[in-house]
């Protein structure tokens, strides 16, 4: 008998099969993942989890007999009440229990559930989306420099000595110039000693002595390491892309924003958050809510506490500008902002809002997304007689000028995902579409 | 761990912990009982300790240590993993492979007692059954299976490289769909020899490469089929029709399959054939292993090699394994093969040692002969589930289990109790139960009966419908689609009632990819 310990064998033997399975069911899994993200909180959006797909797509059909109809015999254990010839009312479900064994796949209609890892989940979820201007367009300042290896040079500091390369040069030089080897010299010296001791062959002794002198001199002329051999590792500066991002969530929390509207906004923020999280090492979120005054708050307050007051959008933009100036130097941070509002704004604030956005906010932002949320039953959703909101018209004027700016209207949960995708579609696709 | 009294110093282990030395001692102790007292004859064993994740891996590839790649295995893996993660099901304690040497996977999480149970169960019980049962002897090649799987894996990977993943996947999908009807049920001319399979394929390819001559492409192809005899019988004889092994027929006769696809069909077919005996002997195989582990563990306890506490742990596990819920229990999920197999074998033991008058009447051959081991060895060697139940289910056991036979006829509004555990019912229950274990009866009887060679080459299949049970219609449509894709021409499946000869239903499929 042998005992073999297989525990240390590399795991993941089924990994390839799993990938094949996911590839096979890709369309279905992707749809399932997207549907599922509707019901998740903002921060656990990016965890893996169970998804279920219609088993139809990954069915393995076999030729088997139907579990219904026909004449069937069954032998069962545990008879307490029956005698031969008794009749029993048919239990619900036609074929009765016998069918359960014959359908390992679970029949046809059932969903197939399985767990996705976090990476698989996000890959499928964010597949084919792209962030606009992933890295900062202009990189300045010495902090953002990274040193990278750039070959070898003949001068440099001793710490950067490339030993291997140096020794290689030295070796080839020594071979080329025929530097006498130590062993060779040692051999001759030993022979000289022996000859001296025996004193048998003075001619040979003289020859050996001379030879030793020649070799010794040659050795001194050709050094072990010459300055010409030295090589140093060279480094040169590269601009380093900014690897951190901050995401500003701006939201109108005045009385006109209802809970469902906030919910829509929250979903959008959640999507943006995981998307940024995926692309940048470090992502911060700043929540700014506003009525006629704006304030930075924590997530819970942002989504859950109610506030009354008018609606002055520019206050939020002003607050954002202040925070950017204080804490997030545009050179060091990729700045994203998402604003959600029902579109109301005080009439006299229009000028100021447009001005702030165009001259203060957009220049420092990688992307600014404006999301106008509405309710499902809003008459304007029918299209006829719909009138763009104040804020929409203000922003719409700015949109023309090709700024890093996107705006969409959302009225229902199911629109969130398409809208998000529209905003962040890969550039090439976005361009090809007029 | 807490020290336990061991005055005689005979205990194999103390507490739950074990190391390889413990496993070796356990195996030796089990072997002593298995060979000397039970007279078992086994392949040499190779015990492999694995983790839970590796166990899941093994599940996904039908328990085999290596297998070709296919998405369906990934699907099964995901399925088992979900069930396991959610805590809905336990993993098996072991997996055993019918190979020589016999490979037993045991999980690292098992306690020492469980390892003893598992070794007795798999390394001796299953192992003896694999080596001695006539079906396994006849159909499987324990020496060659691992080499053959290795060849299959390499061959399919090679095909993927040459012809692309998608093409290979398409063929494998189709082959898997037909796998349930890809076995020869009756022995044929020669024993399958998996080792020579690989050699044969290599030679064939080498020959092809040698003989390759581009000139022949321009010579008009000779219509082999055109010269075929026109009379129906001659044609059928030539194609070996009717044929119930669908993949075999396609491999030999499908007109448009490239050679590598034929080889893949052959691989799937041979693997299906390898697993066929296991399907027919589930009850006996588990019964044998359970009976053997029960005996060995009891003997170990009697000899003082297992402590009382550990013995109770064993009894607990054993009872779980052989638990049979009754038909109206919430947990009812069919008859538990471990339970019935173990009960029948224990019953045989009882009949050998303490027969009643009834047993002497029913089993005159061995009642009271006092040699249960010899009787059981003979049973394990020469029966399969169906014949085993038919021969050895005793009235005593029928009464003990309170078995009853009901008839569910969809034409009647109610179920009818046909027989119960009484004098009139014993034989009827026995034959009805045996039939539940007859694989040939459970699987739909589907045969290829004809090919319209002179006309549109349509393939005609018959399903011989028994008891008016038709095929599952949606799945059948999909399988036929696969069949048509492989055959490259139309396929027609007629469901014919065996009693009346009436065609109950027809399924048709046309190949998706038009002929190139």
| B91-132 tens-digit pLDDT | 667 788 888 888 888 888 888 888 899 899 989 999 999 999
Whether the pLDDT of residue A230 is over 50: the answer is yes
In percent, the amount of chain B with pLDDT more than 70 equals 90
Pick the last residue of a domain from A186, A208, A235.
A235
- Position A221 in a domain: yes
CA distances A101 to A110, A154, A303, B335, Å, are: 15, 78, 50, 10
Number of structural domains found in chain B = 2
Same domain for A375 and A293: yes
What is the per-residue pLDDT for A104? 39
Which of A58, A66, A94 has the CB atom closest to B469's CB atom?
A66
What is the per-residue pLDDT for A141? 40
pLDDT tens digits for range A382-403: 444 456 777 888 887 777 666 6
β-bridge partners, A367: A336
The band of B215, judged by pLDDT with boundaries at 50, 70 and 90, is low
What is the per-residue pLDDT for B377? 93
Same domain for A372 and A230: no
- Position A2 in a domain: no
| DSSP alpha helix (H) spans, A150-244 | 163-176, 182-198, 202-221
- Position A187 in a domain: yes
The band of A250, judged by pLDDT with boundaries at 50, 70 and 90, is confident
| Top-confidence range, A266-275, A397-406, B234-243, B395-404 | B395-404
What is the per-residue pLDDT for B227? 47
H helix and E strand count, chain A: 14, 13
- Position B399 in a domain: yes
The band of B352, judged by pLDDT with boundaries at 50, 70 and 90, is very high
Provide the 3-class DSSP secondary structure of residue A350. Answer: helix
Of the candidates B442, B483, B501, B485, the residue with the CA atom closest to the CA atom of residue B493: B483
* Pair B120, B31: CB distance under 8 Å: no
What is the per-residue pLDDT for A434? 33
What is the per-residue pLDDT for A241? 66
What is the per-residue pLDDT for B386? 92
Residues 49 through 68 of chain B touching chain A, CB cutoff 8 Å? 49-51, 53-54, 56-57, 60-61
- Position B331 in a domain: yes
The band of A98, judged by pLDDT with boundaries at 50, 70 and 90, is very low
The band of A54, judged by pLDDT with boundaries at 50, 70 and 90, is confident
In percent, the amount of chain B with pLDDT more than 90 equals 25
Q: What is the mean pLDDT of residues B168-172?
A: 90
Lowest-pLDDT range of A341-350, B319-328, B419-428: A341-350
Whether the pLDDT of residue A131 is over 90: the answer is no
What is the per-residue pLDDT for B458? 87
Asked if B180 and A5 come within 8 Å (Cβ–Cβ), the reply is no
Segments forming the whole domain that contains residue A307 = 244-432
Q: Does any CB of chain B come closer than 8 Å to the CB of residue A72?
A: yes
Same domain for B336 and B308: no
Q: What is the mean pLDDT of residues B338-365?
A: 92
The band of A103, judged by pLDDT with boundaries at 50, 70 and 90, is very low
Same domain for A298 and A426: yes
A53 compared with A16, residue with greater pLDDT = A16
Same domain for B415 and B309: no
What is the per-residue pLDDT for A45? 57
Q: What is the mean pLDDT of residues B304-322?
A: 89
Tell me the C-alpha distance between B4 and B14, whole Å.
Answer: 7
Residues 364 through 423 of chain B touching chain A, CB cutoff 8 Å? 401-411, 413-422
CA distance A273 to chain B (A): 28
- Position B100 in a domain: yes
Tell me the C-alpha distance between A137 and A391, whole Å.
Answer: 29
Lowest-pLDDT range of A54-63, A137-146, B493-502: A137-146
What is the per-residue pLDDT for B72? 84
What is the per-residue pLDDT for B188? 60
* Pair B208, B157: CB distance under 8 Å: no
Number of structural domains found in chain A = 3
Task: Read off the DSSP letter of residue B225.
Answer: G
Same domain for A168 and A250: no
- Position B461 in a domain: no
Residue of A nearest to B46 (CA): A2
The band of B5, judged by pLDDT with boundaries at 50, 70 and 90, is low
- Position A384 in a domain: yes
Pick the last residue of a domain from B266, B290, B314.
B314
Same domain for B429 and B334: yes
Same domain for A334 and A205: no
Asked if A65 and B471 come within 8 Å (Cβ–Cβ), the reply is yes
Pick the last residue of a domain from A185, A215, A235.
A235
Asked if B406 and A1 come within 8 Å (Cβ–Cβ), the reply is no
In percent, the amount of chain A with pLDDT more than 90 equals 9
Whether the pLDDT of residue A146 is over 80: the answer is no
What is the per-residue pLDDT for B312? 92
What is the per-residue pLDDT for A24? 81
What is the per-residue pLDDT for A105? 38
Lowest-pLDDT range of A163-167, B1-5, B481-485, B498-502: B1-5
The band of B345, judged by pLDDT with boundaries at 50, 70 and 90, is very high
The band of A140, judged by pLDDT with boundaries at 50, 70 and 90, is very low
State the CATH number of the domain containing residue A327: 3.40.50.410
Same domain for B337 and B303: no
- Position A347 in a domain: yes
Same domain for B331 and B424: yes
- Based on the number of CB atoms within 10 Å of its own CB, is B25 exposed (0-12), middle (13-18) or buried (19 or more)? middle
Whether the pLDDT of residue A46 is over 70: the answer is no
A321 compared with B512, residue with greater pLDDT = A321
Asked if B27 and A17 come within 8 Å (Cβ–Cβ), the reply is no
Same domain for A372 and A253: yes
**Paired sense of beta strands A334-341 and A244-252, if any:** parallel
**Number of Cβ within a 10 Å radius of residue A210:** 10
Same domain for B301 and B354: no
Q: What is the mean pLDDT of residues A322-331?
A: 85
What is the per-residue pLDDT for B513? 61
The band of B205, judged by pLDDT with boundaries at 50, 70 and 90, is confident
Tell me the C-alpha distance between B402 and B396, whole Å.
Answer: 10
Whether the pLDDT of residue B4 is over 60: the answer is no
Same domain for A414 and A286: yes
| Average pLDDT of every residue of chain B | 84
Asked if A115 and B416 come within 8 Å (Cβ–Cβ), the reply is no
Whether the pLDDT of residue A276 is over 60: the answer is yes
Pick the last residue of a domain from B257, B291, B314.
B314
Q: What is this model's ipTM?
A: 0.77
The band of A42, judged by pLDDT with boundaries at 50, 70 and 90, is low
Same domain for B433 and B407: yes
Tell me the C-alpha distance between B478 and A57, whole Å.
Answer: 12
The band of B440, judged by pLDDT with boundaries at 50, 70 and 90, is confident
Q: What is the mean pLDDT of residues B479-502?
A: 88
| Average pLDDT of every residue of chain A | 77
Q: Which residues of B touch A27 (CB under 8 A)?
A: none
The band of B389, judged by pLDDT with boundaries at 50, 70 and 90, is very high
Of the candidates B311, B331, B269, B278, the residue with the CA atom closest to the CA atom of residue B142: B278
Segments forming the whole domain that contains residue B395 = 322-440
- Position B377 in a domain: yes
- Position B142 in a domain: no
What is the per-residue pLDDT for A346? 80
Which of B402, B419, B470 has the CB atom closest to A84's CB atom?
B419
Tokens describing residue B483: 């069949």
Pick the last residue of a domain from B415, B440, B465.
B440
Same domain for B118 and B29: yes
Same domain for A251 and A209: no
Same domain for B303 and B328: no
Same domain for A193 and A250: no
Tell me the C-alpha distance between B470 and A66, whole Å.
Answer: 6
Q: Does any CB of chain B come closer than 8 Å to the CB of residue A27?
A: no
Of the candidates B23, B481, B34, B499, the residue with the CA atom closest to the CA atom of residue B299: B34
Asked if A71 and B409 come within 8 Å (Cβ–Cβ), the reply is yes
B217 compared with B511, residue with greater pLDDT = B511
Q: Tell me the backbone φ, ψ of residue B325, rounded to 5 degrees.
A: -70, 155
What is the per-residue pLDDT for B264? 92
Q: Does any CB of chain B come closer than 8 Å to the CB of residue A9?
A: yes
Same domain for A205 and A298: no
What is the per-residue pLDDT for A170? 94
The band of A342, judged by pLDDT with boundaries at 50, 70 and 90, is confident
Same domain for A160 and A219: yes
For A141, half-sphere exposure in the C-beta direction (CA atoms, 13 angstrom radius) is 12
Asked if B478 and A61 come within 8 Å (Cβ–Cβ), the reply is yes
Q: What is the mean pLDDT of residues B278-287?
A: 90
- Position B499 in a domain: no
What is the per-residue pLDDT for A73? 86
- Position A97 in a domain: no
Q: Which residues of B touch A86 (CB under 8 A)?
A: 416-417
CA distance B301 to chain A (A): 23
- Position A132 in a domain: no
Residues 429 through 448 of chain B touching chain A, CB cutoff 8 Å? 429, 432-433, 435-436, 442-444, 446
Q: Does any CB of chain A come closer than 8 Å to the CB of residue B47?
A: yes
Whether the pLDDT of residue A138 is over 50: the answer is no
Asked if B415 and A112 come within 8 Å (Cβ–Cβ), the reply is no
What is the per-residue pLDDT for A44? 57
Same domain for A311 and A175: no
Pick the last residue of a domain from A235, A257, A280.
A235
């Amino acid at each position: 008998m042998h005992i073999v310990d297989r525990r240390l064998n590399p795991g993941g033997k089924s990994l390839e099969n799993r990938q094949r399975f996911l590839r096979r069911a890709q369309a279905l899994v992707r749809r399932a993942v997207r549907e599922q993200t509707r019901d998740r909180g903002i921060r656990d959006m990016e965890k893996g989890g169970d998804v279920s797909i219609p088993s139809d797509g990954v069915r393995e059909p076999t030729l088997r007999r139907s579990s219904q109809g026909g004449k069937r015999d069954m032998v069962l254990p545990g008879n307490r009440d029956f005698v031969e010839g008794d009749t029993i009312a048919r239990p619900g479900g036609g074929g009765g229990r016998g069918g359960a064994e014959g359908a390992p796949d679970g029949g046809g209609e059932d969903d197939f559930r399985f767990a996705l890892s976090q990476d698989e989940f996000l890959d499928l979820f964010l597949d084919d989306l792209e962030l606009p201007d992933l890295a900062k367009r202009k990189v300045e300042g010495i902090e953002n420099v990274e040193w990278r290896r750039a070959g070898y040079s003949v001068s440099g500091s001793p710490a950067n000595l490339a030993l291997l390369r140096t020794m290689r040069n030295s070796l080839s030089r020594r071979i080329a110039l025929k530097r006498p080897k130590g062993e060779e010299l040692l051999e001759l010296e030993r022979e000289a000693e022996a000859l001296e001791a025996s004193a048998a062959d003075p001619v040979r002794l003289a020859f050996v002595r001379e030879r030793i002198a020649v070799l010794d001199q040659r050795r001194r002329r050709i050094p072990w390491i010459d300055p010409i051999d030295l090589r140093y590792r060279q480094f040169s500066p590269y601009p380093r892309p900014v690897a951190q991002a901050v995401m500003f969530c701006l939201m109108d929390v005045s009385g006109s924003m209802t809970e469902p509207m906030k919910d829509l906004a929250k979903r959008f923020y959640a999507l943006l958050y995981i998307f940024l999280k995926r692309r940048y090492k470090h992502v911060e979120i700043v929540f700014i809510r506003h009525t006629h005054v704006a304030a930075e708050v924590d997530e819970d307050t942002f989504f859950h506490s109610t506030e009354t007051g008018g609606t002055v959008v520019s206050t939020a933009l002003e607050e954002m500008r202040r925070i950017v100036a204080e804490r997030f130097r545009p050179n060091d941070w990729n700045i994203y902002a998402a604003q959600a509002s029902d579109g109301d704004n005080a009439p006299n604030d229009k000028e100021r809002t447009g001005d702030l956005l165009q001259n203060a906010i957009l220049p420092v932002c990688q992307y600014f997304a404006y999301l106008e949320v509405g309710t499902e039953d809003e008459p304007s959703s029918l299209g006829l007689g719909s009138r763009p909101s104040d804020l929409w018209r203000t922003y719409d004027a700015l949109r023309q000028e090709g700024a890093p700016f996107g705006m969409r209207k959302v009225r229902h949960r199911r629109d969130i995902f398409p809208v998000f995708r529209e905003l962040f579609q890969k550039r090439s696709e976005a361009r090809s579409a007029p | 761990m807490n020290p336990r009294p061991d005055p005689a110093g005979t205990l194999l282990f103390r507490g739950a912990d074990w190391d390889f030395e413990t496993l070796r001692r356990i195996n030796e102790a089990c072997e002593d009982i298995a060979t000397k007292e039970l007279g078992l004859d086994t392949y040499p064993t190779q015990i492999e300790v694995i983790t839970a994740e590796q166990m899941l891996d093994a599940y996904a590839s039908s328990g085999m240590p290596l297998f070709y790649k296919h998405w369906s295995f990934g699907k099964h893996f995901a399925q088992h993993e979900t069930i396991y993660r959610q805590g809905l099901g336990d993993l098996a304690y072991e997996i055993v492979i019918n190979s020589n040497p016999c490979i037993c996977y045991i999980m690292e999480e098992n306690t020492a007692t469980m390892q003893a149970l598992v070794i007795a169960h798999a390394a001796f019980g299953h192992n003896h059954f694999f080596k001695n049962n006539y079906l396994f002897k006849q159909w499987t090649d324990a020496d060659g299976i691992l080499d053959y799987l290795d060849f299959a894996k390499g061959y399919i990977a090679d095909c993927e490289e040459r012809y692309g993943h998608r093409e290979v996947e398409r063929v494998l999908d189709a082959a898997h769909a037909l796998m349930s009807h890809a076995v020869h049920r009756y022995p044929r001319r020669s024993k399958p020899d998996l080792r020579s399979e690989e050699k044969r394929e290599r030679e064939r390819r080498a020959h092809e490469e040698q003989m390759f001559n581009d000139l022949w492409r321009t010579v008009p192809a000779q219509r082999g089929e055109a010269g075929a005899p026109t009379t129906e019988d001659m044609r059928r004889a030539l194609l070996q029709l009717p044929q119930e092994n669908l993949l075999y027929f396609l491999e030999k006769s499908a007109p448009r399959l490239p050679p590598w696809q034929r080889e893949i069909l052959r691989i799937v077919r041979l693997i299906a054939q390898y697993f066929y005996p296991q399907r027919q002997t589930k009850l006996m195989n588990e019964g044998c292993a359970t009976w053997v582990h029960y005996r060995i563990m009891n003997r170990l306890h009697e000899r003082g090699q297992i402590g009382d506490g550990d013995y109770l742990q064993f009894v607990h596990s054993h009872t779980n394994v052989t638990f049979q819920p009754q038909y109206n229990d919430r947990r009812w999920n069919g008859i538990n093969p471990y339970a019935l197999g173990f009960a029948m074998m224990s019953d045989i033991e009882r009949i050998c040692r303490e027969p009643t008058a009834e047993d002497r009447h029913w089993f005159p051959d061995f009642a009271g002969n006092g040699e249960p081991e010899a009787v059981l060895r003979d049973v394990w060697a020469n029966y399969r589930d169906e014949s085993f139940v038919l021969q050895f289910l005793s009235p005593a056991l029928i009464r003990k289990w309170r078995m009853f036979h009901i008839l569910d006829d969809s034409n009647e509004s109610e179920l009818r109790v046909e027989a119960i555990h009484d004098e009139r019912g014993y034989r009827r229950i026995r034959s009805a139960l045996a039939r539940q274990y007859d694989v040939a009866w459970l699987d739909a009887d589907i045969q290829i009966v004809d090919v319209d060679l002179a006309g549109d080459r349509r393939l005609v299949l018959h399903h011989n419908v028994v008891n008016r049970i038709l095929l599952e219609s949606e799945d059948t449509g999909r399988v036929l689609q696969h069949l048509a894709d492989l055959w490259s021409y139309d396929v027609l499946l007629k469901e014919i009632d065996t009693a009346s000869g009436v065609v109950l239903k027809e399924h048709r499929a046309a190949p998706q990819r038009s002929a190139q």
